């Protein structure tokens, strides 16, 4: 399952995303989106989890929760056409 996670603090690293989601199941990948010019986080990323049920549980429990002073947005990622 691919998951979008947004409204992240600019201090969040990919390893932090991996660690947060690992509590809910096996994480295949965690990718933080960064600006090409400044190499600074854009405040969102994507996580791929092995199991859909684990991903849905993480979405239910984490959406709107405070992480490093910001309420994170977490939902199923919608593929681009």
pLDDT in tens, 38-59: 989 999 999 999 999 999 999 9
Residue 81 maps to a domain: no
The CATH code of the domain that includes 60 is 3.30.70.330
Label residue 43 left, alpha or beta by phi (over 0 means left) and psi (-120 to 50 means alpha).
Answer: left
What tokens does 27 get? 């994480």
What tokens does 28 get? 């295949």
Domains in the chain, number = 1
Model confidence, pTM:
0.91
Residue range of the domain that includes 54:
2-76
Residue 80 reports pLDDT greater than 90: no
Per the DSSP assignment, residues forming a β-bridge with 71 are 66
The pLDDT confidence band at residue 16, using thresholds 50, 70 and 90, is very high
What is residue 29's predicted lDDT score, i.e. its pLDDT? 95
| 61-79: pLDDT as tens digits | 999 999 999 999 999 998 8
What tokens does 63 get? 């959406």
CA distance 27 to 74: 15
- First-to-final CA distance of the chain: 17
């Amino acid at each position: 399952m691919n998951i979008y996670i947004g409204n992240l603090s600019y201090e969040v690293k990919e390893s932090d995303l991996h660690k947060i989601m690992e509590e809910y199941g096996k994480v295949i990948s965690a990718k933080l989106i960064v600006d090409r010019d400044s190499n600074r986080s854009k405040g969102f990323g994507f996580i791929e989890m092995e199991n859909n049920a684990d991903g849905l549980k993480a979405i239910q429990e984490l959406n709107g929760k405070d992480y490093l002073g910001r309420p994170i947005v977490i939902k199923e990622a919608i593929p681009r056409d």
